[in-house]
Amino acid sequence: MIYIVIFFFLAFTSLLDLVVTSKVIRYGFLLCTFIILAIVAGMRWEVGPDWESYHSFFVDYEQYRDGVYINMLEPGYTFLNGLIKAIGGNYTTFLFFIAILTIGLKYSIFTRHPRITFVVIFFYYCYYLADVASTRQFTSLSITLLSSIFIIKRRPVLFVLCVILATSIHISSIAFLAAYWIYHKNFSKRTLAIVLCGTFVLGFLNVSGLMLGKVIGLLGSSSIYAEKLLKYSESGVDSTVGNPYISFLLGALKRAVIIPFLFYYRERIDSKDHDIYRGYLNLLIMGNAIYFLFIISFPEVTRLSVSYLYFEIFLLGFALISIKDRNLKMVVFLLMILFGGFRLYSFMAPYMNLYIPYKTFIN
């Protein structure tokens, strides 16, 4: 299966961050991984969530543009469809364009951390399938990830412009505006732990759901805004399998494995990486706080957390290379490979029938 082959290939290349290798070899493998992922993403056909709706939008683009059909997609994503249509491209052309744009922007950030580039690419695949079946949200996330450069360099105007551009492709990116302030705060580990535990308790008690009832009561059940809130709530119930509290606890269990590990290494990271690690950890905690608060009542709202949760893959890389003992580092590396396999399965499992079999435009 193509997904397993890519998994083992990227696991192998991640070793390049643990051994001394020449720049030529690293650049060669970097280009190779990019080409493989872009081809697999561009050649797919009827693979991935929302395939039918995205394909239909592209095919009927003129009807959406001219107002024959109601266009519910953001203007930036609409523009990208129109751009490929204007040059006479077909849907496969569009998929290759989106793959190069989405993966390429993320690679431009990965390579800014040269000591962990290949480990991050490996986790990029395990956590998000390396955008092989990209949606517009993951294209917008490439731009929010790019905006992190301007957070680090303290260039707020460029940061805001990036977030606005990302929001034009998927509205959820607007939540990343808070990242500029959160990244630079020097929170203690105790404060971060309190935020995490507090939002966990509030989420488990379904405080957001109780607040929904109060808001609907104030608005009146016939209000159009109340109706929208109810739709979000109902879509959340429909999207959970079985008891939503089970999904909540499983999500918490996955985080209970990784977050203490990342907390432990915050004070043990190399001094040259410490500020970035601290800032990225702040962003990760913010993402998890959003997740815990809304996962039971408003799973759709947890999309706001994804731009923050993305920084976990960088933190794992920094934590790994900070281990001084060579034997311990290899043991942790092997455990991370196993954990990566688990995360890959978790990502694909809800939509396994949409990923397998992998089909291309050729067949």
The whole-number average pLDDT for the span 39-65 is: 93
Beta-carbon contacts of residue 10 (< 8 Å; ≥ 6 apart): 33, 118, 121, 122, 125
- Whether residue 156 sits in one domain with residue 92: no
In a domain, 78, yes or no: yes
Residue 60 pLDDT greater than 50, yes or no? yes
- 215: pLDDT strictly greater than 50: yes
Q: Considering the domain boundaries, does residue 161 fall inside one?
A: yes
Q: Report how far apart, in Å, the C-alpha atoms of 53 and of each of 49, 69, 133, 160, 190 are.
A: 9, 13, 13, 30, 45
Q: Work out the number of other CB atoms within 10 angstroms of the CB of residue 172.
A: 22
Question: Residue 360: helix, strand or coil by DSSP?
Answer: strand
Q: 290 lies in a domain?
A: yes
| CA 165/CA 171 separation, integer angstroms | 10
* pLDDT tops 90 at residue 226: no
Residue 31, pLDDT > 90, answer yes
Question: Is the pLDDT confidence value at 229 over 70?
Answer: no
Answer with the residue of higher pLDDT: 38 or 294: 38
Angle between helices 244-264 and 326-348 in degrees, nearest 10: 160
My answer on whether 126 and 152 are in the same domain is no
The Cβ of residue 40 has, within 10 Å, a number of other Cβ atoms equal to 21
Rounded Cα gap, residues 113 and 120, in angstroms? 9
Identify the CA nearest to 316 among candidates 33, 120, 112, 107.
Answer: 120
User: At 223, is the pLDDT very low, low, confident or very high (cuts 50, 70, 90)?
Assistant: very low
Specify the pLDDT at position 217. 55
Range of the domain at 293: 185-322
**pLDDT cut 70: percent of the chain above it:** 90
pLDDT the model gives residue 218: 57
Q: Which among 307, 322, 337 is the end of a domain?
A: 322
End-of-domain residue from the set 120, 151, 174: 174
What is the Cα–Cα distance from 155 to 80, expressed in whole angstroms? 27
Mean pLDDT in residue range 255-278 = 90
**Does pLDDT of 200 surpass 80?**
yes
Tokens 């992190």 -> residue: 148
The reply to whether 74 and 167 lie within a common domain is no
Confidence of residue 246 (pLDDT cuts 50, 70, 90): confident
**What pLDDT score does 245 carry?**
76
User: Are 199 and 289 members of one domain?
Assistant: yes
Is the model more confident about 231 or about 274? 274
Q: What is the mean pLDDT of residues 52-70?
A: 92
Look at residue 203 and tell me whether its pLDDT is greater than 90. no
Q: Which residues contact 152 (CB under 8 A, 6 or more apart)?
A: 183, 276, 279
- Give Cα separations from 225 to 42, 71, 106, 209, 237 (angstroms): 39, 20, 36, 16, 19
- Answer whether residue 143 is part of any domain: yes
Structure-token match 């203007």, residue found: 75
Residue 174 in contact with residue 290, Cβ under 8 Å?
no
DSSP calls for 8-47: HHHHHHGGGGTS---HHHHHHHHHHHHHHHHHHHHHBSS-
119/159 same-domain check: no
What's the mean per-residue pLDDT of the chain?
A: 88
In the predicted structure, residue 164 carries a pLDDT above the cut 50: yes
| Contact between 283 and 255 (Cβ < 8 Å) | no
* C-alpha to C-alpha distance for 172 and 157, rounded to whole angstroms: 20
Same domain, 80 and 147: no
Residue 316 lies in a domain: yes
Residues 69-98, mean pLDDT to the nearest whole number:
94
Residue 224 clears pLDDT 60, i.e. is over it: no
Angle at 239 between CA 236 and CA 240, to 5 degrees: 90
> Residue 221's pLDDT is what?
47
Give pLDDT, residue 312: 96
Say yes or no to pLDDT of 181 above 90.
yes
Task: List the alpha helices (DSSP H) in the chain.
Answer: 2-13, 23-43, 51-59, 61-65, 75-86, 91-110, 117-128, 136-152, 156-167, 179-184, 189-204, 207-219, 224-239, 244-264, 271-294, 306-309, 312-321, 326-348, 352-355
Looking at the structure, do residues 114 and 163 belong to the same domain, yes or no? no
Residues 53 and 146 in one domain: no
Which pLDDT score is estimated for 363? 75
Q: Give the count of domains, the chain.
A: 3
| pLDDT for the residue numbered 59 | 94
Question: What is the Cα gyration radius of the chain?
Answer: 21
What's the average model confidence in pLDDT over 5-19? 95
Beta-bridge partner residues of 44: 360
Most trustworthy range by pLDDT among 61-70, 104-113, 226-235, 350-359: 104-113
Task: Give the per-residue pLDDT at 230.
Answer: 46
Question: Per the domain annotation, does 346 fall within a domain?
Answer: no
Average pLDDT over residues 262-291: 93
Q: Return the pLDDT at 252.
A: 86
Under the banding of pLDDT at 50, 70 and 90, the label for residue 125 is very high
In a domain, 352, yes or no: no
pLDDT of residue 243: 63
Same domain for 153 and 189: no
pLDDT at 153 over 70: yes
User: Which residues have C-beta within 8 Å of that of residue 164, sequence separation ≥ 6?
Assistant: none
Q: Are residues 92 and 53 in the same domain?
A: yes
Of residues 233 and 108, more confidently modeled = 108
- Statement to judge: residues 167 and 243 lie in one domain: no
Side chain identity at 275, as an amino acid letter? D
Same domain membership, residue 146 and residue 66: no
Q: Which one of 322, 339, 355 terminates a domain?
A: 322
Q: Is residue 109 one of the residues assigned to a domain?
A: yes
